[in-house]
Amino acid sequence: MSRGTSGGTGGGLLVAGTTSDAGKSVVTAGICRWLVRQGVKVAPFKAQNMSLNSFVTREGAEIGRAQAMQAQAARVEPTALMNPVLLKPGSDRSSQVVLMGKPVGEMSARGYHGGRQAQLLGTVLECLAELRGTYDAVICEGAGSPAEINLRRTDIVNMGIARNARLPVLVVGDIDRGGVFASFFGTVALLSPEDQAFVAGFLVNKFRGDVTLLEPGLDMLESLTGRRTYGVLPFQHGLGIDEEDGLRVSLRGSVRESEVSSPVGEDILRVAVCAIPLMSNFTDVDALAAEPGVVVRFVDRAEELVDADLVVVPGTRGTVRALEWLRERGLADALARRAAQGRPVLGICGGFQILGEHIEDEVESRAGQVEGLGLLPVRVRFAREKTLTRPVGEALGEPVEGYEIHHGVAQVTGGEPFLDGCRVGEVWGTHWHGSLESDGFRRAFLREVAAAAGRRFVPAADTSFGSLREEQLDRLGDLIEEHADTDALWRLIESGAPTGLPFIPPGAPA
């Protein structure tokens, strides 16, 4: 049945979380997919995102990759309006600030929270208002926890945006971590009375077991807070699509907890991804992990490259730092040995730059001229203006699409052309992110890798990465539709938080 608002400003909801990684991104995507299947014109929104995984929109704007995924869930084209502020960490204390899709400079955490963040509130609210004037509903994602009392004064992504835009707030908690009831109660109790008035209730994420055993606790939580639980989502493997933070990615195990399907041929292919510092857009290897018989691991030791059929050096926000890290750990020598032996290596973006002859960087690290690994005939000079494009081309006889996000400008002086980069023997390099999502090209590339590695691996002829992504997004929509009170959720989106919600002491400190 089609739903819609009564006209004027579209409905809205803020999905907050008790912690980072509570499931805000996937819940937001699931609500978007559920709504669009009900005939609702819906858009995602995240006022401020901190992520090393980003995406380039068709108008050439850089936004968080999670918001691009949520736009796909909503079946709309992603735009800069959906993520007006993006912070890309360059160290533990500073980040590049990307405003409306374009970088505007580096800033320390103290400088950003000390005043710059509050100045961006007007821009954020204008973007949200424009989306709400265009769509029936806008599903907003918060960041971290709304109860970060040290940052509340300058907050523009959690309760700051909820109160200014009068959005009801749904707090998501990851019960798989334990302590979810304390987290729910404590989150509300650390908010001011004015903020608490917008917190409508809770959503339990990643529950394992018999939900009837949880229900007495949910009833007690409601009696303590005056707020209901809008659903209990069961634990499901493989739903962490387009995660935001490459700094916390596990170095062990396969990507996204994915189970490796049986190979079509006689052998599997082992892919090792070097988990370099400030790793960015590690989602590039998701398409490899989706192939039956391909095992993807993140590694940080030289000996872990020995049995790999393909080694990927991914993108990074710190090319020179990553290069030093590879040398310190012996991985640089291991890559050189692989190249000499004719064993496949793929460098993407920053990884491509690392494989070159030398890097001239007065922008990112300000290290000046640094020698690269010398595995590709490429010289890189960092420009102050960032390249943000959506290239289309052909490689290995197959059409390819991708996107570029980099300051480094590559001068290729030899080798075979490869996606605006080059190839020498079995060492490949390109600035193109997302190229492996092109099914025909990915299969052709894996055939080359298998031949060089001496593996009797055969790519599946019918693997469609786009279809698999759609299936994942539908699974998220199914979770909401089957395990949340969707009628109550819609009332929140359309009408806002219930009136008369009780104050839970002590509230935020003065």
Q: What is the pLDDT of residues 401-438, one digit of tens each?
A: 999 999 999 999 999 999 999 999 999 999 999 999 99
Q: How far apart are CA 353 and CA 134, in angstroms?
A: 41
Whether 256 has a pLDDT exceeding 80, the answer reads no
For residues 306-335, give the mean pLDDT: 96
One-character DSSP codes across 231-248:
EEEEP-TT--TT-S-GGG
Instruction: Supply φ then ψ for residue 169, to 5 degrees.
Output: -120, 130
- pLDDT tens figures, 456-477: 999 999 999 999 999 999 999 9
List the single range of 175-184, 186-195, 249-258, 290-299 with lowest mean pLDDT. Answer: 249-258
- pLDDT tens figures, 472-509: 999 999 999 999 999 999 999 999 999 999 999 999 98
Provide the token pair at 195. Answer: 């903020």
Whether 373 has a pLDDT exceeding 70, the answer reads yes
For residues 68-85, give the mean pLDDT: 97
506 preceded by a cis bond (ω within 30 of 0): yes
For residues 340-354, give the mean pLDDT: 97
Give the model's confidence band at 243: pLDDT under 50 very low, under 70 low, under 90 confident, else very high: low
Q: How far apart are CA 140 and CA 121, in angstroms?
A: 15
**Inter-residue contact 317 to 103 (CB < 8 Å):** no
Q: How far apart are CA 109 and CA 92, in angstroms?
A: 9
pLDDT at 261: 72
Question: What residues are labeled active site?
Answer: 349, 433
Q: How far apart are CA 465 and CA 442, in angstroms?
A: 10
Q: Kindly state the percentage of the chain with pLDDT values over 90.
A: 82
For residues 272-287, give the mean pLDDT: 92
Whether 400 has a pLDDT exceeding 70, the answer reads yes
pLDDT at 159: 96
Rg (CA), the chain: 23
DSSP-derived 3-state class of residue 431: coil
List the single range of 31-35, 104-108, 294-298, 372-376 with lowest mean pLDDT. Answer: 104-108
- pLDDT tens figures, 99-128: 999 998 888 767 666 667 778 899 999 999
**Inter-residue contact 54 to 85 (CB < 8 Å):** no
The secondary element (H helix, E strand) that includes residue 164 is helix 159-165
